[in-house]
């Protein structure tokens, strides 16, 4: 990741995270979830890398530094993006997914998809605001 390709965007006042430690902020077309954990800010793409559904609905576990996708029970590190659990569905839900995959090839593809890390972004604090750095590529 080249420093030259990083575009920094000012998001929100740092003190606003005291009351609301998880904030969703739109930057261009991305929904970026900023999570304050102790005095550190983490920024992630709110779209789950499995099917693109909203991660903020699943909640964060500050002890493990993970965010949970409630749709198919996956967990990701909000610090590094690493997959901690992938499609960890159980019981009746697992049975239903298996059943649907027998009749629906798209469902089958979704359930055999390889674990994919969560997109994370760099953050910094400047002028009493949290900033997110997004790599613009080559
Ligand atoms: S959409 Fe998140 S695990 Fe399926």
Q: Residue whose CA is closest, atom 3 of ligand 1?
A: 72
Q: Please state, in angstroms and rounded to a whole number, the distance separating the CA atoms of residues 126 and 118.
A: 25
Q: Do 53 and 69 contact (CB within 8 A), yes or no?
A: yes
State the distance from the centre of ligand 1 to the C-alpha of 110, rounded, in angstroms. Answer: 9
pLDDT, tens only, 26-81: 998 899 999 999 999 999 999 999 999 999 999 999 999 999 999 999 999 999 99
Decide if pLDDT at 138 tops 80. no
Q: Which residues line ligand 1 (CB under 6 A)?
A: 48, 50-51, 53, 69, 71-72, 74
Confidence of residue 128 (pLDDT cuts 50, 70, 90): very high
State the distance from the centre of ligand 1 to the C-alpha of 116, rounded, in angstroms. Answer: 11
Mutate to test the pocket of ligand 1, among 47, 51, 85 (most ligand atoms within 8 A of CB): 51
Q: Which atom of ligand 1 is nearest to the CA of 86?
A: 3
State the distance from the centre of ligand 1 to the C-alpha of 27, rounded, in angstroms. Answer: 22
Mean pLDDT of the chain: 93
Report DSSP letters for the chain, one per residue: --GGGEEEEEEEETTHHHH-SEEEEEETTEEEEEEEETTEEEEEESB-TTT--BGGGT-EETTTTEEEETTTTEEEETTT--EEE-S---HHHHHHHHHHHHH-HHHHHHHTPPP-PPPEEEEEEETTEEEEEEE---
**pTM, to two decimals:** 0.90
Give burial (CB, 10 Å; 0-12/13-18/19+) of 56: middle
pLDDT, tens only, 75-127: 999 999 999 999 998 898 888 888 888 888 887 888 888 999 999 999 999 99
Q: Quick one: tokens of 88?
A: 């960890």
- The predicted structure's pLDDT at residue 20: 95
The CATH number of domain 3-86+117-135, selected from 2.102.10.10, 1.10.3720.10, 3.40.50.300, 3.30.70.380: 2.102.10.10
- The predicted structure's pLDDT at residue 124: 97
């Amino acid at each position: 990741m080249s420093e030259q390709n990083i575009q920094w965007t000012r998001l929100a006042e740092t003190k606003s995270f005291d009351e609301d430690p998880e904030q969703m902020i739109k930057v261009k077309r991305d929904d970026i979830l900023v999570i304050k954990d102790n005095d550190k800010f983490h920024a992630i793409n709110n779209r789950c890398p499995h099917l693109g559904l909203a991660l903020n609905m699943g909640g964060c576990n500050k002890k493990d530094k993970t965010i949970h996708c409630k749709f198919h029970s996956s967990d990701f590190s909000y610090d590094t993006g690493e997959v901690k659990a992938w499609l960890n569905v159980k019981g009746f839900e697992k049975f239903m997914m298996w059943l649907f995959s027998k009749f629906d090839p798209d469902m089958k593809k979704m359930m055999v998809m390889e674990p994919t890390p969560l997109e994370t972004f760099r953050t910094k604090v400047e002028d009493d605001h949290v900033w997110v750095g997004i790599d613009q590529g080559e």
